[in-house]
Amino acid sequence: MDSDRVRVLKEGRDKEGPVVYWMSRDQRARENWALSFAQDLAIKRRSPLAVVFSVAEEFLGAAIRQYGFMLRGLQEVETALEEKGIPFILIRGDPGEAVCRFAEEEAVSDLVTDFSPLATKRVWTEKVVERLDASIFEVDAHNIVPCWRASPKQEYAARTFRPKLKRLLSQFCGEIPEIRVHPHPGKIGEGAEWDRLLQDLNLDRSVPEVEWITPGERAAMVALDGFLREKLPLYDRDRNDPTLDGQSNLSPYLHFGQISAARVALEVYRADADPRSRAAFLEELVVRRELSDNFCLYNSRYDSFEAFPDWAKKTLNDHRADPREYLYHREDLERAATHDDLWNAAQKEMVLRGKMHGYMRMYWAKKILEWTESPEEALRTAIYLNDRYELDGRDPNGYTGIAWSIGGVHDRAWGEREVFGKVRYMSYRGARSKFDVDSYVERVASLG
């Protein structure tokens, strides 16, 4: 593994003990750089290896929909690791505290964790670094190019980030080593009681699990195979039409780390498809997705008005007092009770399926800006709804996409208009010119 994929967060005192991979963002047993690094470390030390996952009692508004998808995927991880002689231990509580207690009880010598740019995981990690005397490593197993290597600063736009990323892709886009049967077994922790855990967690159960998508690594690979065969050839044509089933539907798997983005990129690159379709998908998967991690890593206020570029803050401030033709409370928006049948359909699609079409997410967020009293309220409302209902909410892609829609992040100034100022505008009429709005509304209505 390229050493640039690993950061040493703490050099602990040298001692005997097991090596533990604290799995968090990258929830898979296959093609996981963090797990591979942890096993290499354990083999060099001739130590047992274990994987621990700490289930937080609450995570950024996630409901049973998201927790169920995550935990059912983790059951598959446990089975795959058992075949390699690697214990998988599920613990509960604030991960910063729970991981420390576990590591101290098991006298862990080295702790490896995966990288996330989000503030919540960074706070957990800081607690662990401060308290433990073990050596602690962080591995970016989520991005193809490690976030801190792609750029040392917040990038202004995709056009400034893209060339930096492309210069490094060949260095980091190799095959990922597979996990071996671990040669140094050890008894660490206890197995999980999955059914009891799902019942015991104090979760919001008013947002139910969905049935159209199956969680886990195997299902993710099946979905990738289907996308390569059936959708990628026409992706450039179909991806922005919500009436067509042209999107990959891989975002929930990528969000929970149930599939490696590097694997997806390699298979798309090798696929026999229109080069324009390959390029369009890889731009989204690699450039835009990793740009989102860049934004959240280097801008600690990524979910606030203060994260917007100066030109956007100025223009939005200039138009704060503009009259709104329509004003809706959060409850109205959550119930899809607006005058706009297209927006209502997008909201209902998200509530019912846990996934809104990508093109509609932009329209949906921009209308929230148009129909609420301030950019701050619009931002809070969009994040709340996205994180409550989307399977792939609570993600850098979500925060960055909303910041693009409402606050011009990674965009440029456009023609000035009321409410939006110079932030890019999207209209109902514009949507009608791009796709069959009535057909989309009817399709969503048929969902229930």
CATH of residue 223: 1.25.40.80
Q: How far is CA 314 from CA 89, 157, 309, in A?
A: 50, 18, 9
The mean pLDDT of 385-400, rounded to a whole number, is 97
Tell me the one-letter amino acid at 278. R
**What is the residue-averaged pLDDT of the chain?**
95
For residues 100-117, average pLDDT:
96
* One domain, residues 79 and 163: no
Residue pair 87/270 in contact (Cβ under 8 Å)? The answer is no
Which residues form the domain of 162?
143-177+215-299
Instruction: Report the percent of the chain where pLDDT is more than 90.
Output: 90
Count how many domains the chain has. Answer: 3
Answer yes or no: is 200 within a domain. Answer: no
Q: Is 249 left (phi over 0), alpha (psi -120 to 50) or beta?
A: left
For 264-292, how does the pLDDT look when each residue is reduced to its tens digit (9 = 90+)?
Answer: 999 999 999 999 999 999 999 999 999 99
Backbone angles phi and psi of 98, in degrees to 5: -65, -40
Residue 429's contacts (CB-CB under 8 Å, 6 or more residues apart) are none
In a domain, 184, yes or no: no
CA 178 centroid distance within chain: 23
Residue 62 pLDDT grade (very low, low, confident, very high; cuts 50, 70, 90): confident
Band of the pLDDT at 1, cuts 50, 70, 90?
low
Query: Does one domain contain both 77 and 167?
Result: no
pLDDT (0 to 100) of residue 2: 67
Q: For position 196, what pLDDT does the model report? A: 84
Of 141, 125, 118, nearest to 29 (Cα)?
A: 141
Report the range of poorest mean pLDDT among 124-133, 170-179, 223-232: 170-179
pLDDT at 194 over 90: no
Burial class (CB in 10 A: 0-12, 13-18, 19+), 225: exposed
Same domain, 393 and 439: yes
Residue 10 pairs in a beta bridge with 136
Q: What is the pLDDT of residue 446?
A: 94
217-226 helix and 64-82 helix, angle to the nearest 10 degrees: 100
Give pLDDT tens digits for 63-77.
999 999 999 999 999
User: Is the pLDDT reported for residue 345 higher than 80?
Assistant: yes
Q: State the pTM of this model.
A: 0.96
Residue owning tokens 């195997």: 218
Q: Tokens 């996409």 — which residue?
A: 401
**CATH number for the domain that contains residue 441:** 1.10.579.10
CB 21 within 8 Å of CB 112: yes
271/413 same-domain check: no
**Amino acid at position 314, single letter:** K
Among 299, 330, 346, the domain-final residue is 299
Using CA atoms, how far residue 39 sits from 4, 174, 250, 257, 361, in Å, is: 17, 19, 28, 19, 40
Same domain, 65 and 79: yes
Same domain, 361 and 277: no
Residue 195 confidence class, pLDDT cut points 50, 70, 90: confident
For residue 432 the two structure tokens come to 């009608």
Boundary of a domain, candidates 249, 277, 299: 299
Residues 157 and 270 both lie in one domain: yes
- pLDDT by residue (tens digit) across 352-375? 999 999 999 999 999 999 999 999
Same domain, 323 and 435: yes
